[in-house]
Structure 1
Amino acid sequence: MEYAPSTQKSYLHRMAPELICAILCSVEGLDGLLCAILSCHLFYSVFSRTPSAIIHQVFFNELNTHHVRREAIATLYASKLALVNPTISIIRVFFQDHFQQRKEFDTQLTIEEAAGASRLHAVVSSLAEDFSKTTFPELAAACGHASDTLELLASEKARIMRALYMAETFFNLFRTTSSNITEAVQRQCMNEFLVHFAPLEIEQLACIHDFLFRKVSPVFNDVAAHDVLWGEFQVEPALWLGSPELQFFLFKGLGAIRRIAAAKTYAEQQKLFNGIPGTRHLNLHRALKDFSYKESTTEDDSIPSFATSEDYDQGPFLIWKRAQKLGTLTNRAMLRSLGYVMWNQERLDNLGILQEQEWQLQRLVRDSLPNDSPVHEVTDERWLASWRERSRIHEQGGTGWWDFDDESQVVWPERKRRSTTDNTPTSLDEAKRAILALKRV
């Protein structure tokens, strides 16, 4: 008996396109969406009808999961502004659009913008996890508790990510400032950006700045100690938070910061640094150090009484309020390397911090990097000798990695290599010719 071929469609093919579109919109992350549309021709067909709308929804779902939608969109638009000549009015309008009027709800992103923002979001998420693994064990140890593996709570991660986005927005807004703008105007614009945030949020940003500095400085200092070109130009190690050379690389953004921090080999480091560093004397460190609500030119000069983002946990505010009574800005700055204003109240209660008297917070104060530039230039004899040796090598045409008693990785130009090896036979035939030449003499 012959059977007619079945024409019955699968359950998937019987679904309405609108339902499939809804399924695609609910996929977690753009990577998941890519896997979905490449796994099924029908999914791809439905996606190709309205790709922008689906990508837009998937990306926003990803941001909403961490409650950073507003901050992520603000960061994206800050990168598009590319301010060369910032003004206080431009900064003020930017803040109103993205932090007061919630403009992100009307935002329509291109596929390229959504993809770029999604990549940055992955970087921010990764750095938030790294922040918790780096700072909380040190805080716990300072409180006399075992530094167990931290399970970062969703609210804590969102808090850290918001501060990271805040830093990235700052870098984007002031990355390409023109040299034609006076220092006073640049400083006022940076202060205008900060003045719209609550004091607690600014302290959280300061914790992030400390964290980013510590991420980059080991790699930076390693290159400063060994690179021939950096030695020729006497690039100093980053020994204080406002190091203009290191701040130059912070302005490259969070993606570059993570790549630099992850670079393990000299070749990787050299490629990322790409020559001698520039300098950024007006930077996030300086803006935080000089910040004042009194310098705001807004009609309402009062300090914001609430944060720009909803945060229902009282832990960060309570520990910040206690820290204000330590007496000196330096002591409070020392707490930043512990990320002290990022943790929920229950976690701080478990450490016993919130039950203590204010003066007992002093025991958490630890050695920190200087806030101000060293009074004297580098005088360490080893550094001075290193610069002299690397300058000598540079004058002879050498480049690459160098260390005391180790020039094996210095790269010499071909003409130098030939001139130093012309008199040394490299084969048996060359040795015979050299001997015959000596006999003729």
Structure 2
Amino acid sequence: MPTFATIPCEIMISVLRELGNVRFLLPSLLTCRHVYSCFKENPGVAAEILQRQIPPDIIPYSVAVLEASYLSPRNETSVHELLETLYTQPSKFTERLRTIPVPLLTRMGHIHGVIHDLTTDFASSAWTCLHKDQGSEAAESLVLSPSEYLRFCRAFYRVELYFCLFRCRTSLTSIPFHEHRFFSNQPPWEKEQLASALDFLELKLSRASRDVVAHDVEFGELKIDYITTGMNNYMRQLWLSQGVDFIHRLMSESSYDGKKALLKSAFAADRVDLYEALMTPPETDLNDDVPLSSYTNEDLAALFPPTESQDTDEGPLAGWRVAFNPWPRSAWVMLAHLSALRERAYVFWDLDRIEIYRMRALFNDAPANSELQRAYHDLDEMRESFEERSRIWQKGGSGYWSKNDESRIVWPTQQDGN
């Protein structure tokens, strides 16, 4: 009678290829010696599984993020070479898949799963905002086109790549943020995609950390700001710098103590300020006061020559033009008052979708502030909480504080069991 161990290797490998996620591969290999033997004869199946999980145009970014995480030596030359390969010969990264060990492929699959979750979350929340806007004609449900999905994913991968490359800047201090090769192949509407993804990550971080940062006595003693946005909030930048997996773990953590432990684990970590990098214009742009409205699309194509792999759909460009037409080149990315547009993912949608739902009008009428910006109304309350929590800390108290409620404060006598 035929047994599992007698299944021909060709069939077994065909079965393994159907795994929907590379993280299922290792458990599968442990089920039977025959399965493992078949895999040893066909190790390339691991890369094939990952390629079914991650879109082809995203694979080079996935490999680049992995290599950036382990880059050694980490210096100007190695960083430049990695980015040069990604931007001019991305197929080389795809070719390297078959040499990557299974545990690292599993890590790549995990990061893509995180980015997929963030992509669907951001797209859904942005579409909900558009649907709720006054006069919105957007449909209630959203199905992303392949090109829209790729834009969202690529933006999060670019954020992650920046953090992986520059979080440890000991040997890279001579590289000015705004002059680095990292941004050189990205037209301003793609930088706005990156800025929008960064805003969304900050929003998710703000929501996930709020209960701890706004109520914990120790965090109040440290005066950790839970309201100020962008580069003016040191601790937010530190936590954002830890990358998408850190933020996703914080979002997924259900317990107060777990969230606090995760936030504190980054206190001694390295940081880099991507907001500052995005908001610092190239020197060549500083003396150009010609507004965007004076540029034709052909002018922009001459300024930002398209690459072979560049997105050709004009939806992102159309959305960006609505927002930046009055502004000169030095202000073509990350303007603070456009946060509500970034919240609506205005530079991610296909042109067909923009035209069908008349989204240019929606972009023109977007609210003045995003959810992050609206939190500024609570600044006085935050400062008062610092004073109250510091008073408790100085007396030896710790734990969870709420305004006019100290019932959850732990005092030294309670800790000692007296």
> Normalised by the size of structure 1, how large is the TM-score?
0.77
CA distance in structure 1 between the partners assigned to 2:103 and 2:3 by the alignment: 34
1:159-170 paired onto structure 2 within 5 Å: 159-170=151-162
Which residues of 2 match residues 18-417 of structure 1 at below 5 A? 18-34=10-26, 36-37=28-29, 42-51=34-43, 53-64=44-55, 67-81=57-71, 86-87=75-76, 89-102=77-90, 103-107=92-96, 108-142=99-133, 144-145=136-137, 148-178=140-170, 182=173, 185-188=174-177, 191-242=180-231, 243-274=233-264, 277=267, 282-292=272-282, 294=284, 303-306=303-306, 309-327=309-327, 329-354=335-360, 361-368=363-370, 380=380, 382-413=381-412, 417=416
Segments of structure 2 that go 5 or more residues without pairing to the other structure are: 286-301
| Structure 1 Cα separation of the partners of residues 411 and 73 of structure 2 | 42
Cα-to-partner distance string for 1:28-75 (whole Å, 9 max, x where unaligned): 321444565466664343124444x221221133223x6311111111
Q: Distance in 1 between matches of 2:139 and 2:268?
A: 39
Aligned residues: 389
Change (3 A) 1:176 1:189: farther
Structure 1's 149 and 277: CA in aligned 2 closer, same or farther, altered over 3 A?
farther
| Counterpart contact for 1:215–1:257, Cα < 8 Å | yes
Q: Which amino acid aligns with 1:127?
A: L
Structure 1: gaps of 5 or more residues: 1-7, 296-301, 422-441
For 1:370 and 1:190, locate their aligned partners in 2 and report how far apart those are by CA, in whole Å: 29
Quick check: 1:138–1:147 contact (8 Å CA) kept in 2? no
Out of 90-99 and 186-195, give the one that drifted further: 186-195
Distance 1:409 1:23 in 2: 54
State the alpha-carbon separation in 1 of the partners of residues 396 and 142 from structure 2: 50
- How many angstroms apart in 1 are the aligned matches of 2:284 and 2:271? 23
Tell me, what secondary structure is at the counterpart of 1:364? Answer: coil
1:110–1:189 CA distance, 2 compared to 1 (3 A): farther
Cα deviations across residues 349-372 of structure 1 (Å, max 9, x unaligned)?
Answer: 222135x5xxx843125314799x
Shift of 1:275: 6.3
Query: What CA distance in whole angstroms lies between the structure 2 residues aligned with 1:134 and 1:177?
Result: 34
- Cα deviations across residues 120-148 of structure 1 (Å, max 9, x unaligned)? 11101111110111111112333523561
* SS of residue in 1 equivalent to 2:389: helix
Q: For 1:145, what is the secondary structure of its paired residue?
A: coil
Which residue matches 1:13? 6
- The equivalent of 2:295 in structure 1 is none
Letter of the 1:408 partner, please give it.
S
Q: Is the 8 A contact 1:75 1:165 kept in 2?
A: yes
Name the CA distance, whole Å, in 2 between partners of 1:82 and 1:130. 34
| 2: CA distance, partners of 1:70 / 1:94 | 11
Q: Distance in 1 between matches of 2:182 and 2:132?
A: 35
SS at match of 1:81: coil
Q: Distance in 1 between matches of 2:145 and 2:118?
A: 15
Structure 2 distance, partners of 1:281, 1:32, is 33
The alpha-carbon distance between structure 1 residues 221 and 277, as it changes in their structure 2 partners (threshold 3 A), is: farther
| AA of the residue aligned to 1:319 | G
Measure how far apart 1:155 and its partner are: 2.3
Q: Structure 1 pair 147/402, CA: closer, same or farther in 2 (3 Å)?
A: farther
Task: Decide whether the 8 Å contact of 2:337 with 2:369 is kept in 1.
Answer: no
Q: CA deviation at 1:266?
A: 1.9
What amino acid is the match of 1:364? A
Q: SS of 1:96's equivalent?
A: helix
Aligned-partner residue type, residue 239 of structure 1: T
CA deviations 1:298-345 (Å, max 9, x no partner) are xxxx74322574434332222223333144745545411110011122
The one-letter code sitting in structure 1 at the alignment partner of 2:141 is T
Partner of 1:5: none
CA-based RMSD: 3.3
Distance 1:96 1:276 in 2: 31
Query: Does the CA contact (< 8 Å) of 2:178 and 2:280 recur in 1?
Result: no
CA distance change for structure 1 residues 396 and 50 in 2, over 3 Å: closer, same or farther? farther
Partner Cα distance (2:7, 2:226) in 1: 65
Shift of 1:385: 3.4
